[in-house]
Chain A
């Protein structure tokens, strides 16, 4: 069966891959947006933390025999804790300085983390099996739907929506948003702002880690897996608008889809299409599609 002259198998297959990539873009840019929107820090080590999440899954299997489901819970907690440690010991000292130091620090940390893992595990990937229940694909007639990938899309949508809901619609979220606007005032109300900041950073990092666990069965668990994806995620965040939570989510999924479509229609451009869109957005609406001029 052909749609627009392209076999439906190819088209839907690519759109599916697009949505998968989009899920990861959304999760990662959500984490970045949370950290940036609330803390004003560009977390360059986000890619490395995503990788640590995947490794947490791999290692918890190797060392403790814990399965995928346990890893989904364990990885964000462990990696998030490491994130909290980073924030408490290093980032907190940089808040008074120019924001670029935060960027440089997290960049340096990313180099260290990636270098250490690379030394320990080499550059090629470690295998991580798809959980039994999701093995294989479902034949829908016009396409094959791999079960695990369907799960990834659903799960990330759920997580994204839940995060958005907490931040935009609950009391806790409103405290967070207030604290960004005016930390001293919020502190005066008795809310422990520094602790909230630490927890927020840890949460953003945890989001990266959970993305890593979900990525492990699809991609290689490899020390460099975060290095190149982080740059695309930056572009996604710029397109969505830096402070906007919903913007990050929608742009992530949307851009993943567009990338997938490009792979069918004009595969040579699939690497650069997101950057091209970023350029266009910058020309028309520099604050990003959902952002507001600060």
Chain B
């Protein structure tokens, strides 16, 4: 996970990559099923949020699905039961995830490394069981028939094109924000903590506080992704809070490149495509995912974007 240090020149490469990414998502719907692309964007944002914590903060959370799924239920409930407009539903979703991240973060930050991962996993499982039994989530059925609503009271999002533009806007906003965080002084301190926490402590930084804030920010962006996804599919279900979903986002980040900005996006695209096109193989998808994990860990630790960044000798 060693990335070259940031210099003003390297940022130009990132701008180019950013432009390419936007161009891709702008043109792709003419060739590829738009709902599939919206799914990719939502998961890409989720993976970016996760990567903020792992790649830049050095904290492996194995329970990130709890933020994604909670946000999904929040948005679905707000849109269906309270009849809110989509921008408010997504906002509410993000805030719910943030609140949860704050509580979980306070508990999990107490331990480091592997322990941290196990605690997040266990807490996420607890959240799963709570959602399984609470009536408002609809249990096994999930919250179905969620209306997409009228954006700003004007634009009907049941039209796929309008929805696509909305999702793209949310994705770009979220991505840009993560980008901003990484390049900010806060982001620098976070990276320092990841490299050597003791040294950061001795320099006077309240490392626990920084880690907590990173955790909360990560939860917030994951919440944005989860809330938007619920509106795209008009459905919030237990799958989104199950620990296998947490495993998937880890996989996406690993494949794309931990600690890179664009890695999670590529990783999400790869994994979602794989699931889609291998869907008829049923259980083989799990085996393939496991294989990808193993291969990446043993041989391909930098991930796609990581390898490219390494070749270019610029951070991506």
Contact = CB atoms under 8 A, between A and B. Distances in A.
B283 A109 contact: no
B264 to A, nearest CB: 15
B294 interface: yes
B71 interface: no
B126 interface: yes
Nearest to B104: A279
A276 interface: yes
A99 interface: yes
A159 interface: no
Main secondary structure of the interface of A (DSSP, over half): helix
Contact of B297 (A101, A231, A279): A101
B101 to A, nearest CB: 15
A112 interface: yes
A146 to B, nearest CB: 27
A238 B60 contact: no
B254 A104 contact: yes
B301 interface: yes
Interface string A87-128: 000100110001111011101111111111011000000000
Contact of B126 (A103, A112, A275): A275
Interface residues on A, range: 35 or more
Nearest to B103: A279
A81 B119 CA distance: 30
A283 to B, nearest CB: 7
B290 A282 contact: no
A143 to B, nearest CB: 28
Nearest to A223: B283
A271 B122 CA distance: 12
Interface string A35-78: 01000001000000000000000000000000000000000000
A109 B298 CA distance: 12
Contact of A105 (B60, B243, B282, B293): B293
B117 interface: yes
B60 A235 contact: no
Given A118-B286, A234-B122, A282-B107, A99 B113 contact: yes
A242 B282 CA distance: 37
A42 B110 contact: no
Contacts of B296: 104, 108
Contacts of B284: 115, 119
Contact of A268 (B118, B133, B283): B133
B111 A286 contact: yes
Interface in B272-294: 282-294
B310 interface: no
A87 to B, nearest CB: 13
Interface in B47-102: 60, 62
Interface in A268-287: 268, 271-272, 275-276, 278-279, 282-283, 286
Contacts of B62: 103
Given A231-B243, A272-B130, A282 B110 contact: yes
A273 to B, nearest CB: 10
| Max count, chain A CB within 10 A of own CB: residue among B283, B284, B289 | B283
A206 B1 CA distance: 34
B114 A100 contact: yes
A237 interface: yes
A179 B243 CA distance: 34
B115 interface: yes
A275 B286 contact: no
B297 A110 contact: no
Contacts of A109: 290, 294
B126 A111 contact: no
B236 to A, nearest CB: 20
Contacts of A235: 118, 122, 125
A238 B115 contact: yes
Contacts of A107: 247, 250, 293
B129 interface: yes
Contacts of B117: 42, 100, 103
A242 B243 CA distance: 21
Which 7 pairs of residues, A with B, have the shortest CB-CB distance? A108-B293, A111-B290, A112-B290, A115-B287, A115-B286, A275-B126, A271-B129
18 contacts: A103-B60, A103-B114, A104-B250, A108-B291, A108-B296, A113-B290, A115-B284, A115-B288, A116-B287, A119-B283, A232-B125, A234-B118, A235-B122, A242-B115, A275-B129, A278-B122, A279-B107, A286-B110
